[in-house]
Structure 1
Amino acid sequence: MPMLSQAAPDTNRVGADALQQRSYKIVRLKHPGRWLSGVAVVILLALLVKAFADGKIQWDVVGKFLTAEVILRGFANTLLISFFAMILGAGLGTLFAVMRLSQNPVTRFVAWLYVWIFRGTPVLLQLLIWFNIALVFPTITIPGLFEARTVDVVTPFVAALLGLGINEGAYMTEVVRGGISSVDHGQTEAAKTIGMSRFQTLWRIILPQTMRLIIPPMGNSAIGMLKFSSLATAISFTEMLNAAQQVYFVNGAVIELLLVCAVWYLLGTTVLNIVQFYIERYYGRGVAGVASRPPFRFSFGLSRTAPRPANEERS
C-alpha cells in the first residue's frame, strides 16, 4: 500500500509535465541582419539590371545573334575542344600521377619534369608553341610508315587540343596523385596478400576510392577548360569567341556579341555544375557529409518546423 500511494503522485506529475510542455509557445529566432543584407543585395542587383537595360546596348541584336548559326557552330567547337582536351588531360594526369608514385626514380623524375614544365608556363604560350611547331620540325616522319608536313598535321584544332590538354594534364597529375595518396596503404598490402597485381590493385581498389576525392577538382577543371578554350582564338581556331569577333569586326556590335558569348558560357558552366553535383553524389554514396540535395535549392529557414515533443500524441 505505501508503494501504491507513492506511485500515484508520480503518475500525476508526469501528466502535468506533459500538459505543461504542450502549452509552450515556440518562438523562432529573429535574423534581421540576414533579411536586411538580402534586401540590400536585391536592390543592388535591380540597379545593375536597370543600368544595363538603360545603357546603349542593342538588345534586339543580342537576341538575333543568340541563335545565329555562326555562334552556334562556334559554341559547338568550344564544347568539342573542351571535351577532348579534358579527356586528354585526365588520361595524362592519371598516367603521370602513377609515374610520380612509382618506385623507379627515372620514372618519378620524368613525371616531375612534365609537371614542372607545363604547369610553370602560361597556357597561351603553350598554344602558340604548338601552333608554330612546324618552324622546329618541318616534317613528321615515322620511317617506313608515315611522312607528312607538320603544318598539315598540326592544324589549329590539333594545336589547341595539345596545348589545352597537355597543360590540363599537368594539373590533373597533382590532383590524381593526391587522391591516390589518400587511400590507406593497408588496402594495397591486403591486395598483394591475395595475389592481385599492381595494375589490378590500382584499377579495382585504389581508383574507385580516389574518384570521390578527385571529382570536385576535376569538375572545376572542366568548367575552367570550357572558359580557357577561348584562348584558342589566338591561334585562329574558330571557337565561339573567335566566331563572335569575326561578326563584330563587320557590324561593329562589339558589346552585343560579347554578351551573346557570355550567355552561352554561363549556360555551359551551369550544365557542368549540375552534372558535377550528380557525379559527386554517385561516388559519395554511403559517405557521411556528402551533400544529397540537388543544387539551386534556396532555403531561408521558413519551412523548418519545431520538433514535436516525444510524449505528444499524434492528431
Structure 2
Amino acid sequence: MPVPTKTLQTPALQDAAAEESPIVRARHPGRWAAAVVSMLMLAALAHSLATNPGYRWDVVWKYLTVRTVLTGFGWTLALTAASMAIGIVLGVVAALMRQSANPVVSACAATYIWLFRGTPVLVQLIFWYNLAALYPRIDIGFPFFAPFLTLSTNVLITPIVAALLGLGLNEGAYMAEIVRSGLMSVDPGQREAAYSLGLTPARTVRRVILPQAMRVIVPPTGNEVVGMLKATSLVSTLAISDLLYSVQGIYGRTFETIPLLIVASAWYLLASTLLSACQIALENRLRRGHTAAPTDGVSVLIARVRRNIGPLPRNSSR
C-alpha cells in the first residue's frame, strides 16, 4: 500500500512550510471591551472630580499641610508602628506555642487566638479603656499572696495604653495564624536535617525555619500593616489625636466635612502606598533564587515595558 507523500517530507521541508505559514495572533475582544469600559468609567470619575463644587479642592489644599493634621498623621504612624511591633512579637510567640507538643501550651495559644480574633477590635478598645470598672486596682505579685505593688487602673490605663493593648493584642491573634501558616509551609525535612546537625530546637527555628518561612509570611504581613494603618482611625473614639480625630475637630468647627475627610483620605492613601512599595521591595529581595513570572496586570505591564525599552544607555562621557 503506498505511503502518503505528506509523511515523507523531510524536517527541512516541514520547517520551510512552517515559516511560510502566516502567524495570526489570538483575538481577545473581551479584553478590549473591558479596557474601553474601564476608560469610560475613569473619564466619568475624573470629570466628576473636576466639576463637582462639593469637593471644594481649595479647602482641601488649605488644610492638607496644617500643623494639626500633620501632628495627627504622626500619631497615626506611631500607633501603627507600635501596634504592629506588639502584634508581630505576640504572633510569633503564639504561633510557636500553637505548634507545641505540650497540649496545655497549645490550648492557651489557641484560646488567645480564638478570643481576640472573634471579637471586634472596636469592642476591645472600649473594653481596655473601661478596664477600671472591672479591676479598680492592678496587683503585681504572685497569685494567692500579698502583692508586691498595687497600681490604680485609671492611672495605668491611659487612652494611649488602651489603644496599644486593643490594637496590639488583636493584631497578635491574626499574626499568629500568618506565622503558623509560614512555619507549616517549610518542608519537615528541614527541621529533621537541622536536628541531625546538632542544632537545638530554638536555633533551628531561628536559623533554618523562619528564614524559609519569611517568603510566605511577608505578603500577608504587609497587608496587615496597611490594615493596621486604617484601623488606627478607631482610636478616635478614645479621644486620641490621630489623623481622623484631628480632621474631625476641624470640620466640627468649620462644617467643611467632605473636604476634611478628603484630606484624611489623602494622607492615608500616601502612607499605604509607601508601605505597599516597601512590601514589594522586601518580597523581591526574599524571592531571590525563587523567581516566578508576574501574574498581576501591573507587574506584567512593567515587565513588558522594561523588555521593550531594554537597558538604559550608558553615559559616553565616562
Place the TM-score, normalised by the shorter chain, in its bin. Answer: 0.7 to 0.9
Structure 1 residues 203 and 295: alpha-carbon distance in aligned structure 2, compared to 1, 3 A threshold: farther
Give aligned-pair identity as a percent. 41
Q: Say which is worse superposed, 141-150 or 100-109, in terms of deviation.
A: 141-150
C-alpha displacement at 1:186, in angstroms?
Answer: 1.6
For these two proteins, the number of residue pairs brought into alignment is 294
The amino acid that maps onto 1:41 is S
Partners of 1:161 and 1:132 in 2: CA distance: 14
Pair 1:71 & 2:69 matched: yes
User: 3-state SS of the aligned residue for 1:74?
Assistant: helix
Partner of 2:98: 100
Partner of 1:222: 225
Partner of 2:117: 119
CA contact (8 A) 1:277 1:295 kept: no
Q: Say which is worse superposed, 149-158 or 25-34, in terms of deviation.
A: 25-34
Structure 1 residues 145 and 126: alpha-carbon distance in aligned structure 2, compared to 1, 3 A threshold: same
CA contact (8 A) 2:125 2:167 kept: yes
CA contact (8 A) 1:274 1:295 kept: no
C-alpha displacement at 1:172, in angstroms?
Answer: 0.9
CA contact (8 A) 1:74 1:240 kept: yes
Cα shift readout 1:135-190 (whole Å, capped 9, x = no counterpart):
22223343687544222222211111110110010011111111111212122122
The amino acid that maps onto 1:45 is L
Pair 1:195 & 2:192 matched: no
Partner of 1:80: 78
Structure 1 residues 205 and 303: alpha-carbon distance in aligned structure 2, compared to 1, 3 A threshold: closer
User: 3-state SS of the aligned residue for 2:199?
Assistant: coil
Structure 1 residues 177 and 299: alpha-carbon distance in aligned structure 2, compared to 1, 3 A threshold: closer
Partner of 2:254: 251
Structure 1 residues 148 and 216: alpha-carbon distance in aligned structure 2, compared to 1, 3 A threshold: same
Which consecutive residues of structure 1, in runs of 5 or more, have no partner in the other structure?
1-9, 306-315
Cα shift readout 1:234-271 (whole Å, capped 9, x = no counterpart):
11111101111011000000000001111111111111
Structure 1 residues 201 and 302: alpha-carbon distance in aligned structure 2, compared to 1, 3 A threshold: closer
Partners of 2:41 and 2:298 in 1: CA distance: 24
Partner of 2:39: 42
User: 3-state SS of the aligned residue for 1:289?
Assistant: coil
Partner of 1:128: 126
The amino acid that maps onto 1:67 is T
CA contact (8 A) 1:191 1:201 kept: yes
CA contact (8 A) 1:85 1:161 kept: yes
Partners of 1:269 and 1:261 in 2: CA distance: 12
Pair 1:262 & 2:260 matched: no
Q: State the superposition RMSD in angstroms.
A: 2.9
Structure 1 residues 43 and 219: alpha-carbon distance in aligned structure 2, compared to 1, 3 A threshold: same
User: 3-state SS of the aligned residue for 1:298?
Assistant: helix
C-alpha displacement at 1:294, in angstroms?
Answer: 12
Cα shift readout 1:19-55 (whole Å, capped 9, x = no counterpart):
8877776554444432332122111122122223332
User: 3-state SS of the aligned residue for 2:138?
Assistant: strand
CA contact (8 A) 1:281 1:290 kept: no
Partner of 2:158: 155
Pair 1:52 & 2:55 matched: no
Partners of 2:298 and 2:158 in 1: CA distance: 39
Structure 1 residues 283 and 267: alpha-carbon distance in aligned structure 2, compared to 1, 3 A threshold: same
The amino acid that maps onto 1:176 is V
Given the two structures, how large is their TM-score scaled by the length of structure 2? Answer: 0.83
Partner of 2:279: 276
CA contact (8 A) 1:183 1:206 kept: yes
Structure 1 residues 86 and 301: alpha-carbon distance in aligned structure 2, compared to 1, 3 A threshold: closer
Q: Say which is worse superposed, 137-146 or 83-92, in terms of deviation.
A: 137-146
Given the two structures, how large is their TM-score scaled by the length of structure 1? Answer: 0.84
Partners of 1:104 and 1:18 in 2: CA distance: 67
The amino acid that maps onto 2:34 is S
The amino acid that maps onto 2:95 is A
Structure 1 residues 178 and 302: alpha-carbon distance in aligned structure 2, compared to 1, 3 A threshold: closer
Partners of 1:194 and 1:49 in 2: CA distance: 62
Which consecutive residues of structure 2, in runs of 5 or more, have no partner in the other structure?
1-8, 142-146, 309-318
User: 3-state SS of the aligned residue for 1:195?
Assistant: coil
